[in-house]
Amino acid sequence: MKQTEFLNVVLPFQDKLYRLAKRLLVSREEAEDATQEILLKLWSKNESMSKYKNVEAFAMTMTKNFCLDRLKSKQAGNLKLVHSNYSDENTSLQKQMEAEDSVSWMERIMEDLPEQQKMILQLRDVEQYEFDEICELMDMKPTAVRVTLSRARKTVREELIKKHNYGIG
């Protein structure tokens, strides 16, 4: 596979790789490094890439495994927790603060979920993957994916209700 063919195949889902890495590693810098590592690994496999049925699913699985290995390694103690701030110049300061607060709450809630729930919630609700794609990526049965997603959403919903009802009643 030539470089242009490789870029045409990989570039459309490069941002998804980054977002998954960011969700798992939290730090923007670590996620960027992880994404570059995955892209380099994909390039090193470019000759055999045509044998994969779904290159995007293969890359997402590689990213997931790389990030989880990274978190388990000795280097995990050195990971910095750096959050990028959501910003939009067209909103008022109050709306911007509310949006930042909402994003921050969602990140905190998602970080407290078990790994499997966090991954499935990210893949389905953020990345908009179909259930069959998630089943393939996570090596799970469809029923297990749906149950895990339901539990993750229920936990997020309950935590948001607690946050918004704080001090009421």
DSSP string covering 49-117, please?
A: GGG-S-HHHHHHHHHHHHHHHHHHSGGGGG----PPPP--TTS-HHHHHHHHHHHHHHHHHHHTS-HHH
72 and 104 share a domain? no
Instruction: Return the structure tokens found at 129.
Output: 């993957």
Q: Given 41, 62, 83, which residue is the final one in a domain?
A: 83
What are the tens digits of pLDDT across the range 34-92?
Answer: 999 999 998 888 788 778 888 888 889 899 888 888 877 745 555 444 444 444 455 57
Q: Given 32, 65, 83, which residue is the final one in a domain?
A: 83
**Residue 129 sits in which domain range?**
91-169
CATH of the domain at 58: 1.10.1740.10
Between 141 and 75, the higher pLDDT residue? 141
What are the tens digits of pLDDT across the range 86-136?
Answer: 444 555 777 777 777 777 888 888 888 998 999 898 888 888 888 998 998
What is the phi/psi pair of residue 49, to 5°?
A: -65, -30
Say if CB 50 and CB 7 are below 8 A apart.
Answer: no
Instruction: Return the structure tokens found at 103.
Output: 């994003």
DSSP-assigned letter for residue 13 = G
CATH of the domain at 131: 1.10.10.10
1 and 79 share a domain? yes
Say if CB 118 and CB 142 are below 8 A apart.
Answer: no
98 and 164 share a domain? yes
Q: Given 27, 58, 83, which residue is the final one in a domain?
A: 83
Number of structural domains (the chain) is: 2
75 and 111 share a domain? no
2 and 78 share a domain? yes
